[in-house]
A = this chain, B = another copy of it.
Amino acid sequence: MSAPKKVVLAYSGGLDTSIILKWLQTEYGCEVVTFTADLGQGEELEPARQKAELLGIKPENIYIEDIREEFVRDFVFPMFRANAVYEGLYLLGTSIARPLISKRLVEIAKETGADAVAHGATGKGNDQVRFELAAYALNPDIKVIAPWREWDLTSRTKLLEFAEANQIPIAKDKRGEAPFSVDANLLHTSSEGKVLEDPADMAPHYVYQRTVHPEDAPNEPEFIEIGFEKGDAVSINGEAMSPATILTKLNEYGGKHGIGRLDLVEGRFVGMKSRGIYETPGGTVLLEAHRGIESITMDRGAMHLKDQLMPQYAEIIYNGFWYSPEREMLQAAIDKSQEHVTGTVRVKLYKGLASTVGRWSDHSLYSEEHVTFEDDAGAYDQKDAAGFIQLNALRLKLLAARDKRLSK
């Protein structure tokens, strides 16, 4: 790879990405464009602008954007249509944010004539893969720089020395090492590493940042009604809201009731297992409600196929293949299944648990007329079941007859 001339850096404004910024300038002598996005991580963006300017980035090279609506509308919601969970439990909160960041990096590279993009993910994790696969899928000629895999700043001490040597301001609380590493966006907060590295040990309370301890949650349950249209949440308690607003609101509800905590050991795409603490308050409520509205509006054949496809869909996203033909194929199937997933679900929130307690819809396939224990006025002829069973049993009878024949 020839040296990059102009690089778009995913820039948080924090110490690590500031060091990367400087390192790019120093190592490659290249022009740096910074991209700082509000994905709902809950941090002010303007300090990042000041920091970038301080580090010599030209004003026209500083991109600061609120992409929360795009994030929820085009990434989070399509994924929730699938009820996607990785390894049975993980709601993919980090995985789903990476492709969007790469998309903007590549777009800004095009706008600014940059030939490279850079990110601050390490060489051990999944995020490097997600950033880079997405970037290459969107521009096959882009260069991607991953300083953590390249440089020799391999210890905290060296990083701080580099920062000091390059006049990068170091916040007081960054002098010592953080007891764990955090990633956050509107969908979730993840915490990993250090004090969390032994999966036998219970995660300390202070790790949790977005949800109250269930023991500290309200002693009274709260009930909310979530409205859906074609598989996406569109309202809470009858009030229509934008995608990002809904997720923000659900985070408030979920967080208040201690909902959406997950202590997980997962298999990384790069081959090792890692332990993470995830908080996905709104997403956990949304998944429960989405399952609830599907339960009355989606046909059994569609649902079973969808459930069967889900694990691969989740794996594809986890592994960073959002921009791949196989994800798009599955998305086409999933979206097709959501055409009638419209209606309302009532969810109970209490002490860490979100439970569907009611659901209704004009699109309902539930037929009280058919299912009733009472007289069904001929809607269903129980005698049909005899033939149904006989023909379903036929191949089993033929198998059993063979066994009988052979055992003689």
Residues of A within 8 A of B (CB): 83, 87-89, 122-124, 128-129, 132-133, 136-140, 146, 148-149, 154-155, 181, 192-194, 197-203, 214-215, 219-221, 261, 263-268, 270-275, 291, 295-296, 298-308, 310-312, 315, 320-321, 323-326, 328-330, 332-337, 340, 346, 350-353, 355-360, 362-368, 370-375, 380-402, 404, 406
Contact = CB atoms under 8 A, between A and B. Distances in A.
A180 to B, nearest CB: 9
Contacts of A124: 370-371, 380, 382, 385
Contact of A332 (B88, B321, B333, B389): B333
How many monomers of this protein are in the complex?
4
Contacts of A139: 400
A214 B380 CA distance: 38
A207 to B, nearest CB: 12
B333 A329 contact: yes
A394 B272 contact: yes
Contacts of A400: 136-140
A355 to B, nearest CB: 7
24 contacts: A87-B303, A89-B291, A132-B393, A133-B389, A133-B393, A136-B393, A137-B396, A137-B399, A140-B404, A148-B382, A181-B373, A202-B346, A215-B220, A215-B221, A267-B300, A271-B395, A275-B366, A301-B321, A304-B326, A323-B396, A329-B336, A351-B353, A385-B387, A388-B391
